[in-house]
Amino acid sequence: MMRLPGFPRFLLILGLAGFLAGPRSLLAEEWLIRAGKVYTLTGAPLAPGMVHVKNGKIVEVAAEIAAPEGVKVIDLSQGVLIPGLVDARSQVGIESSVNEITQELTPNYKVHTAINWQSRSFREALAEGVTTLGLMPGTENVISGQLAVVKTAGPLAQRTLVEAGGLVITVASDPANRNSSRQRPDSIYVRQPTNRMGVVWMLRQTFASAQASTNGTPSVIHEALTGKRTIYGVSRIDSDILSLLRLGKDYQFTPVLVEGNEAYKVKETLASAKVPVLLTKVTTQAGTATEGSEVFWNQGGELHDAGVTFAFTGGHLLDQARFAIRFGCPKGVALEAITKTPARLLGVESRVGTIAVGQDADLLALTGDPFELTTGVAWVMTQGQWHGKK
Amino acid sequence: MMRRRIHVHVLGWVLLAGWGMTSAPVAAQESLALRGGKIIPMSGPALEEGVILIRNGKIEAIGKDVAIPPDVKVIDAKGKVIMPGFIEAHSSRGMDQTNETNPNTPFLSVIDGIDPSQEYFDECRRNGVTTVAIFPGNNTMFGGQGAIVKTAGVTVNDMILKRGAGIKISLKPTAERSRMSHMAALRKELDAARIFLEEEKAKSSPKPTAASSDASREPKDDDGSTTNGFQRPPRGQRGTAPRPDAGNVDAAQVRAALASLLKGELLAFIYCELAMDVPQALRLTKEYGLKSVLVLDRDCYKAAKLVAASGLPVILEPTLVFWETQPQTGEDQQIILPEVYREHKIPVALQVTGIGSGNLFRQPNLPPTLGTNFLWYQAATLVKYGASEEEALDTITRRAAQAVGADKLVGTLEAGKDADLIILSGDPLKIDTWVEKTIVNGQVVYDREQDRKLKGLLQSDAKK
């Protein structure tokens, strides 16, 4: 089952022993990894390349590194090393509902408080090479709460990168049409708004009153409007995306567009407003998707050509990048869109997203060319902790 | 909420339909030659710079030194790769409805339900699939007779390769039935057909051999228990499924269809939902002398040993990799079916999921699918989990043809076989390789340059 060229089995046992001994010894693991190719995402790839990991951090990256005494060497042979993947918009591990059905505005809700750290979905994400997740609340609230940025594995104390981050808002029909309170006509929770106009009006009212507020206590909304928190706006169809951009213009914030199924239709506007996109999952089906948005396969290629920054989100990141390449996205851009770019859009680029000195030792080892569907995951590392198949 | 811009799709539909008609094979057959390029025949080593000569829908000659007659239209495939069209070994798509409400309809034929204008066939041609074994869905007992069809045609008659390819038998109980009563009902029907067959035999030959009638009239399980004494419980009783159309079904029709199954004229495509269904399928195969093909759902990997020992052809469900949690220990496990089946040396054939399952008007909001709706993606997944590229390609061509009993006509590029082939822009299974042309029965039925739908998906200014 395990494909691990030149990796002796006893090291695996050591890794397991380290796990049992607790986090401290884990992070003390020192590794030297040699790969046929290392995509550092900070410059041209090294081929071959070596990465030195110590105390959970990357301490050296070079074409050739002499092995220090006592260090464990992993030789990937022709395998390829890339940064651990970053899925910037995910609901992995969030326990029960991601939506609050009794209120429209819940800016103080924190996804972090709803995480089930033992959830299998974390291990599923890890097996696909994802090491960092941006966890966002659902879309049925006008303002749904604050995102968290976490690792998919590791000791609990070290899994949180951002506990209460950017504010997630929805500029779409979900708060009007899909909120769970409407599934039952006798619900005591039936609430506003009931249409798109209401969604936008509620946002405007909230933003305006936060701006007008003079009582001195800095609210979450106020922080978002003064650039202390990023606003992540979920919109899919072109008109909603434009509504979000108008809100940004009127209340002086630059949102990160989330989902953006029809971003390709307003790419020039997005580029000039410098609004980046956390794209909805790449699909290989045609037709229409959520809210009747028109499916378009080459968002990656066209957004890039227009000068829009974007990341792929929502699982199967390697395959998403591969299909995006097939559909017209340049290879380098697609790789950035699952590592460096999402790390930046989550504000954690100083810790993850590239293979560089000082970064967390979050690495993804592949059996070959990252851009081919026939390439598999050999193993994953989070903060110097090795995860492979037994 | 209503879909926006539905008119765009209506227009697209019309265009598609029009396109389908112009590209469908017509009665007048012409000759065609493919010249240059790498030919992967799947029946032997690859051929560089070869020639394939096609006449009357068949491959007339293939080789390096095949002379091209002057009257033949030539397609230059220099720098391209030519290989047999892909074959989907089992699909319940392309029909107006997947399942019948009545679970006992072995006499029905999918031919009567196939709609050649469905999106599914368009997707097939676009992705290099030239032959599909279409079978009724799995929510049934005896679901009807499948057919092997080509993926291009104006009417279903243009498409048929083999009319009665087999009968779909599902071991998953229908409606509220238990597995016990489902299996008993299934055996009861097979027994009735066996008795019918014996009586027919007795009528036609005045002196029946004592041995044959004995053995078949008293079928016994491996453990010796009699299985044909089952009495159907009264209608409406707890645990029995209501059978809405039962009154309209002619028992003689059922018997006649199942008799063909028992005679081996039709294959038995047995769907196993759970691993526990696999031994049942093998028992039915043995006791009734069926020629079986196993259509296995994900859980059946647990019975891989049994499957391997049976030597029966296997068709896997589209989900090849998934996770399970052991209920006792809470331990998570990633199950990689290609690895499991290879460890047990079981050759598998594949099927896919995707948009083709319905039409756009009925299923406007499709769950996102990434790749698993393409047969070539599934083959690449096999390679990802350790298969050689050659084996993976064999899986979706030659082996699939063998599994469904169509290998005399399709699956490889050899003189005398149907001219079903694809021209690829590069090596198969590579991320930037596209199907450039799909040829079915010697007719070009898909040309990427003319594919307006694909262009619309890849270039936003082409949509307008």
What pLDDT, in 10s, does the model give residues B430-457?
999 999 999 999 999 999 999 999 999 9
Closest residue, chain B, to A122 (C-alpha)? B332
CA–CA separation, B110 vs B120, rounded Å?
Answer: 15
Backbone angles phi, psi at B226, to 5 degrees: -75, 140
Q: Where are the domains of chain B?
A: 1-85+412-464, 86-176+264-410
Contact residues, chain B, for A179 at CB < 8 Å: none
- How many contacts does A have with B, using Cβ atoms within 8 A? 111
Beta bridge partner(s), residue B316: B296
A-chain residue closest to B339, CA distance: A1
Residue B368's pLDDT band, with cuts at 50, 70 and 90, is low
Distance from CA of B337 to the nearest CA of A (A): 11
Half-sphere exposure of A368 (CA within 13 A, CB side): 11
Is residue B89 pLDDT above 50, yes or no? yes
- At the topology level, CATH places domain B1-85+412-464 in Urease, subunit C; domain 1 (2.30.40)
Give the burial class of B318: count Cβ atoms within 10 A of its Cβ; 0-12 exposed, 13-18 middle, 19 or more buried: middle
| B156 has a pLDDT exceeding 60 | yes
Radius of gyration of chain A (CA): 22
- Nearest 5°: phi and psi at B289? 60, 40
Confidence band for B310, pLDDT divided at 50, 70 and 90: very high
- Predicted pLDDT at B97: 85
Chain A closest-CA separation from residue B1 CA (Å): 8
Q: What is the pLDDT of residue B280?
A: 97
Question: Could you tell me the two tokens for A40?
Answer: 């550092």
Asked if A302 and A328 touch (Cβ cutoff 8 Å), the reply is yes
B364, exposed or middle or buried, with CB in 10 Å at 0-12, 13-18, 19+? Answer: middle
CA distance A277 to chain B (A): 18
ipTM of the prediction: 0.89
Which of the residues in chain A have pLDDT under 50? Answer: 1-26
Contacts of A326 in chain B (CB under 8 A): 431-432
Most A CBs within 10 A among B11, B344, B431, hence the mutation to make, goes to B431
The pLDDT value given to residue A100? 86
Residue B206: the pLDDT is 63
Among chain A residues, CA nearest to B380: A374
The pLDDT-based confidence of B231 (bands split at 50, 70, 90) is: very low
Which residues are CB-contacts of A359 (< 8 A; sequence separation ≥ 6)?
Answer: A57, A58, A83, A351, A352, A353
pLDDT at B79: 95
Q: Residue B461 burial by CB count (10 A; 0-12/13-18/19+): exposed, middle or buried?
A: exposed
Look at residue A389 in the predicted model and tell me its pLDDT.
76
The pLDDT confidence band at residue B304, using thresholds 50, 70 and 90, is very high
d(CA B253, CA B233): 22
Q: Which residues of B touch A152 (CB under 8 A)?
A: none
Residue B368 is nearest to which of A285, A301, A322, comparing CB atoms?
A285
Alpha-helical segments (H) within B301-396: 304-310, 337-343, 375-384, 389-395
CB contacts, 8 Å: A327 with chain B? 457-458
Q: Which of B370, B372, B388, B390 to mutate to test the interface with A (most CBs of A within 10 A)?
A: B370
Picking from A140-154, A249-263, B201-215, B320-334, which range would have the lowest pLDDT averaged per residue? B201-215
Closest alpha carbon to B80 in B436, B390, B421, B449: B436
Q: Which of B355, B371, B457 sits opposite A319 (nearest CB)?
A: B371
> pLDDT by residue (tens digit) across B385-396?
999 999 999 999
pLDDT level of residue B463 (50, 70, 90 thresholds): low
Residue B248: predicted pLDDT: 57
pLDDT mean over B142-159: 95
* B243-265 pLDDT, tens digit each: 445 555 688 899 999 999 999 99
Which pLDDT tens digit goes with each residue over B10-23? 444 444 443 433 34
CB pair distance less than 8 Å for B370 and A316: yes
- What's residue B204's pLDDT? 82
CATH superfamily name and code, B86-176+264-410? Metal-dependent hydrolases (3.20.20.140)
Q: Which of A315-329, B192-206, B271-285 has the lowest mean pLDDT?
A: B192-206
Residue of A nearest to B4 (CA): A292
Q: What is the C-alpha radius of gyration for chain B, rounded to an integer number of angstroms?
A: 24
Q: Which domains occur in chain A, in start order?
A: 9-83+354-387 (2.30.40.10), 85-345 (3.20.20.140)
A31 touches chain B (CB under 8 A): no
Instruction: Please give the residue that has the higher pLDDT: either B202 or A152.
Output: A152
- CA neighbor of A297 nearest in space, from A325, A316, A277: A325
Closest CA to A3 of A51, A74, A53, A63: A74
What are the φ/ψ torsions at residue A235 (nearest 5 degrees)? -145, 150
Alpha-carbon gap, residue B169 to B281, rounded angstroms = 9
* Cα of B366 to nearest chain A Cα, Å: 6
pLDDT of residue B365: 44
Predicted local confidence at residue A182, as pLDDT? 64
- Which range has the worst mean pLDDT, B156-160, B322-326, B369-373? B369-373
Task: Report, as an integer, the average pLDDT of B33-39.
Answer: 95
Token pair of A299, please?
């968002």
Residue A93 C-alpha from the chain's centroid? 14
